[in-house]
Amino acid sequence: MPDGPIPPPAQRVDAAVHLAGTLAYVAETAAIWRLDAAAMDRLALALATGDEAALASIGLALPPPAPAPATPARAIRALALTVSQTCNLACGYCYAGGGSFGGADTRMDWPTARAAINALVAETPPGGGIRIAFMGGEPMIARDLIRQTVAHTRSLCRARAISVGFSMTTNATLVTEEDAEFLATHRFAVTVSLDGARATNDRLRPMRGGGGSFDRVRAGLAPLGARADRIALSARVTVTPANLDLRETVAALAALGFTSIGVSPLLTAAGGRGVLGADDFPKLLDAMIACGEDWLAATLDGRAHPFANLATALNELHSGAARSHGCGAARDYLAVDASGKYSACHRFVNDPLGQMGSLEAGIDHAHRSRWLSARSVEGQQTCRTCWARRLCGGGCHHEVLHAGRPACDHVRGWLDFALHAYGRMMAERPDWFDGSA
């Protein structure tokens, strides 16, 4: 059921189109039009006056007056295995509360991992594809289980002609040469969590026993970086008030050899430590736009730049995909924790707000469908009247359920910048979008 009244027409007109430079972004369909000055003026007038008929006359769809029917859940094709609910770091902001998700330190056992993989493969038709993500805590603490699970998955998938991709999010401090060769052999996508240059990172991401983690991360990166032709290696920066200078952060991580660096603002944390406040979001937007301008200048000049957020946003705009949710959690992706419980994603382990059944009882598909329906952009009043709804998808479920939506102005500001950047890229480097760049 919707969480509020149906929006009035004027609000719907306001949420129908967003103008960005020479582009008009049609919110409901995610279509992008390039208009001449006269057409842009007419459109701006129609929007300013809330003229629904004028918009309709040029073929613009308004947001639906009522929520769409429940979004059907898709078949689950991706699993996150929380192989280690413990960590060797003690990041103050950790969503997993130090890796254990508010419970005791624990690790997944082999019967649980095997049952999770068996259930996923059994539901996947021959010729299909699945993705397995190894998560923690710090997953490399459970390296033997990961190897056993990969070998088992490969063998099952081979027998059923199913393709499989593996990924891992790690702090990299435990990665050895042997680990890196294993990850390369199985073509892992490896995301390394790292928050900046040594001083910043060590303040935000200390070792559990004390002391900084930066030098250990660098040691673990060396064998990964040496296999960059077989490992898709990227960095993920958690942005807190302590590391808002993103240009400095991106430069520091690029100096470590990363060619793909994504930043993610911290909106929720156990105990609220390190989350961004209202005063921080304008600074965050300025910092992201500065990195985006650097990326644009480099790309328009034919050079590579590692800032991944803009590249991702541009590819999404170009694909024309219209989201109903912010991510694939519960849609085609679930997490399995050490006790064998399913949750909507790796952040909902031990969280009653995102439980989805268990290996023993099976996935609770009825609950999954209700959860997805309630959490779609159509199902949420705030999002139904937002021009960015089909790009944003309503935000991260975990963050929204725990912290509400403090960052919507930031999200819209960033997407407005991305739309302007899209206009420039289509005018000057359209080849970048077909991969020929």
Least separation in angstroms between residue 324's CB and ligand SF4 is 11
Residue 45 tokens, joined: 């007038």
3-state secondary structure of 92: coil
Spatial neighbors of 412 by CB under 8 A, at least 6 apart, are 386, 387, 388
Least separation in angstroms between residue 284's CB and ligand SF4 is 14
Residue 108 tokens, joined: 């997944």
Least separation in angstroms between residue 176's CB and ligand SF4 is 28
Rule CB under 6 A: which residues touch ligand SF4? Answer: 326-327, 329, 345, 347, 377, 382-383, 386, 388-389, 392, 394-398, 405, 408, 411-412
- Which CB sits closer to ligand SF4, 137 or 394? 394
Contact 223, 177 (CB under 8 A): yes
Least separation in angstroms between residue 394's CB and ligand SF4 is 5
Termini Cα distance of the chain: 45
- Which CB sits closer to ligand SF4, 266 or 329? 329
Least separation in angstroms between residue 245's CB and ligand SF4 is 25
Cis peptide before 357 (omega within 30 of 0): no
Contact 332, 77 (CB under 8 A): yes
Least separation in angstroms between residue 224's CB and ligand SF4 is 23
- Which CB sits closer to ligand SF4, 148 or 382? 382
- Which CB sits closer to ligand SF4, 290 or 408? 408
Least separation in angstroms between residue 397's CB and ligand SF4 is 4
- Which CB sits closer to ligand SF4, 228 or 408? 408
Least separation in angstroms between residue 255's CB and ligand SF4 is 28
Closest by alpha carbon to 372, among 402, 337, 329?
Answer: 329
* DSSP H/E element including 118: helix 110-122
- Which CB sits closer to ligand SF4, 253 or 396? 396
* DSSP H/E element including 365: helix 365-375
Q: Which residues of 394-415 are buried (b: 16+ CB within 10 A; e: fewer)?
A: bbbbbbbbbbebbbbebbbbbb
DSSP letter for each residue of 203-271: HHSBBTTSSBSHHHHHHHHHHHHTTTTTSEEEEEEEE-GGG--HHHHHHHHHHTT-S-EEEEE----GG
- Which CB sits closer to ligand SF4, 214 or 342? 342
Q: Which residues pair with 342 in a beta bridge?
A: 336
- Which CB sits closer to ligand SF4, 117 or 330? 330
